[in-house]
Amino acid sequence: MKHYLQLLIVFIFLGGLNISLNIQASEIPTRKMLMADAEKVTKKITTEELKNMIENEPELVLVDIRTRGEINKQGGAIDAPQNVSISRGWLEFDIQSHATSTDTPIVVYCGGGLRSPLAAKTLQDMGYTQVRDYSAGYFGWKKFHAK
Beta strands (DSSP E) in 3-128 are 43-44, 61-64, 83-85, 106-109
> What pTM was estimated for this model as a whole?
0.79
Spatial distance between the Cα atoms of 33 and 132, rounded to a whole number of angstroms: 19
Q: Flag whether pLDDT at 6 surpasses 60.
A: no
Q: Flag whether pLDDT at 3 surpasses 70.
A: no
Reported as a pLDDT band with limits 50, 70 and 90, residue 17 is: very low
Q: Convert the pLDDT of each residue in 33-47 to its tens digit.
A: 999 999 999 999 999
Q: Convert the pLDDT of each residue in 82-112 to its tens digit.
A: 999 999 999 999 999 999 999 999 999 999 9
